[in-house]
């Protein structure tokens, strides 16, 4: 139930902001708006103010603003307050206002989210030097080794771990070239990223060289606190042996009542601390909760948060266009697309984590909605803009019949896409997927 409410909240805000953009620009240019609806189908609630009926409709998967004289088949009186009576420049502004409002909302919401502060992995903006290779992973099969510096993936240069993830995620189950550099020189290997999670996200099976960080005290023991270990310390080694979270726990568990020397890093400065694990339930513990990798805390001011939001939305935009191009070139599987059911699941999961996570998801979806609505597919805002641009180039208006055919083609494309994403969503529901005997 919470997931459904979170989904309706997110979708309601996004649709309202989108349609508000159309509505405000239409009113600004003197276009008479007949209906402002959240949702489609039968009207559940409605009220009329002036010439406009404001309503909430039964199918909450979108919305619309109905304008007087909006399409050639509408009954027209030739009045100046009709949509088609306006200049192409004015109509362009009205059409683009909806997607623009979604893009603006994405930036604003992400600014608010970032202004709250966040903890981010320290390795994300570091060069992708392989620090771990998962057993039986595509990377192991391809011969990727510890210490390899990944230079490019599928022809795309990657300078950070973040960029590596963006390059690999869309390419599940597709053989790609990975260019590596080590002490002996540069080489290229062919790797087929494995499909991970129900969203079929590509994964090479490599990770950075990371050390665990102390994030909280544990009530099981006070050994670490008594020895002077602080929250935020990064534990790099035990008795001179570099450790991951897993090996650190193993070594501590195997050393009850035995002093061990930990090499930690605090504020970038390494130092050694001797700690004696206490015996608890037949294993040694030092009483700390760990994160597998070091986290950096960011606490930006308003201007910095806005700048970071622009950068984040720019990166997301690049990933959206990469995915769209990948769908056209078949480099990206349609099985990675998410529809209404998937968004509802993601919204519910985000709401359980907290409002900051939910608003971060809202920002990402709003950006997607804004960009996708600008695609030159008839029936979408971008499609109407494209038709209008073609009319401008040809210096004549297309016939009603031609426009109807173009809109029908756009409708078929959109419905095909909708069927695809809903099918994807259903395959991610466990009990539904079991009924799909053909899978």
- Catalytic residue annotation: 19
- b/e code 240-265 from CB counts within 10 Å (16+ = b): eeebbbeebbebbeebeeeebebbbb
Orientation of helix 355-372 relative to helix 302-329, angle to 10°: 50
Task: List CB contacts of 334: < 8 A, sequence separation 6 or more.
Answer: 327, 420, 424
d(CA 35, CA 198): 40
d(CA 368, CA 343): 12
d(CA 395, CA 273): 79
Within the chain, what is the greatest distance between any pair of CA atoms? 92
d(CA 338, CA 227): 50
- Which pair of tokens denotes residue 431? 């009990």
- Residue 97 is inside which H or E element, if any? helix 88-115
Nearest to 207 by CA among 150, 269, 142, 265: 150
**Could you please report the per-residue DSSP string of 246-268?**
HHHHHHHHT-TT--EEEEEEETT
């Amino acid at each position: 139930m919470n997931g459904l409410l979170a989904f309706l909240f997110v979708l309601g805000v996004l649709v309202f902001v989108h349609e508000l953009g159309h509505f405000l620009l239409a009113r600004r240019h003197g276009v008479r708006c007949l209906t402002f609806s959240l949702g489609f189908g039968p009207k559940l609630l409605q009220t009329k103010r002036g010439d406009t009926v404001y309503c909430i409709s039964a199918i909450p998967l979108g919305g619309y603003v109905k304008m007087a004289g909006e399409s050639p088949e509408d009954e027209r009186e030739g009045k100046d307050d009709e949509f088609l009576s306006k200049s192409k420049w004015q109509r362009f502004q009205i059409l683009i206002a909806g997607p623009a409002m979604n893009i603006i909302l994405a930036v604003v919401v992400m600014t608010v989210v970032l202004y709250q502060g966040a903890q981010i992995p320290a390795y994300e903006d570091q060069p992708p030097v392989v620090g771990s290779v998962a057993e039986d992973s595509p990377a192991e099969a391809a011969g990727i080794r510890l210490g390899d510096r990944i230079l490019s993936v599928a022809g795309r240069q990657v300078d950070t771990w973040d960029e590596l993830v963006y390059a690999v995620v869309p390419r599940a189950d597709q053989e790609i070239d990975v260019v590596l550099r080590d002490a002996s020189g540069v080489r290229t290997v062919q790797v087929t990223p494995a499909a991970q999670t129900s969203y079929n996200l590509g994964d090479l099976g490599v990770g950075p060289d990371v050390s665990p960080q102390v994030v909280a005290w544990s009530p099981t023991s006070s050994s670490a606190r008594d020895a002077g270990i602080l929250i935020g310390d990064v534990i790099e080694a035990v008795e001179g042996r570099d450790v991951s979270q897993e090996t650190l726990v193993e070594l501590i568990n195997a050393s009850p009542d035995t002093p061990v020397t930990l090499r930690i890093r605090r504020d970038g400065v390494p130092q050694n601390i001797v700690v004696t694990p206490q015996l608890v339930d037949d294993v040694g513990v030092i009483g700390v909760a760990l994160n597998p990798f070091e986290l950096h805390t960011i606490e930006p001011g308003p201007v910095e948060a806005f700048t970071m939001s622009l950068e984040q939305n720019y990166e997301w935009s690049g990933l959206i266009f990469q995915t769209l191009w990948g769908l056209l070139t078949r480099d990206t599987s349609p099985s990675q697309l998410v529809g209404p059911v998937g968004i509802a699941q993601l919204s519910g999961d985000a709401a359980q984590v907290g409002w900051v996570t939910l608003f971060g998801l809202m920002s990402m979806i709003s950006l997607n909605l804004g960009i996708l609505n600008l695609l030159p597919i008839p029936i979408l805002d971008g499609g109407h803009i494209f038709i209008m641009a073609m009319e401008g180039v040809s210096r004549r208006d297309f016939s009603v019949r031609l426009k109807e055919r173009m809109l029908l083609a756009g409708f078929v494309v959109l419905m095909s896409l909708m069927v695809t994403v809903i099918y994807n969503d259903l395959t991610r529901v466990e009990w539904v997927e079991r009924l799909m005997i053909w899978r």
